[in-house]
Amino acid sequence: MPTTTVSSRYQITLPANVRKALGIKPGDQLEVAVEGGQIVLRLKRPPIREVLASLVTEESAALAELREATADDAAAFVRELRGEGSDDL
């Protein structure tokens, strides 16, 4: 079992294999509890509704930008990118 040391400022560093196993990134929050005389850390994840809402919002914005860039004609946009004439697809 990996160990860590408490610093003079009462900070700890999570071992790399623990961070990787849980996908912990800088800025993530951990919930701290005392259970049965043990310190328990739980990764705090945002509610799934928040995650889905942000994805929908980001995707909608990206689609709006693409729609504007293509003037609602994706085929013509692809032909332009390929350098092809308007009759070729």
Distance of alpha carbon 40 from alpha carbon 8, whole angstroms: 21
Q: Mean pLDDT throughout 21-25?
A: 93
Q: Mean pLDDT throughout 1-22?
A: 94
Q: Over the stretch 26-71, which tens digit does the pLDDT of each residue have?
A: 999 999 999 999 999 999 987 888 878 877 777 777 788 878 878 7
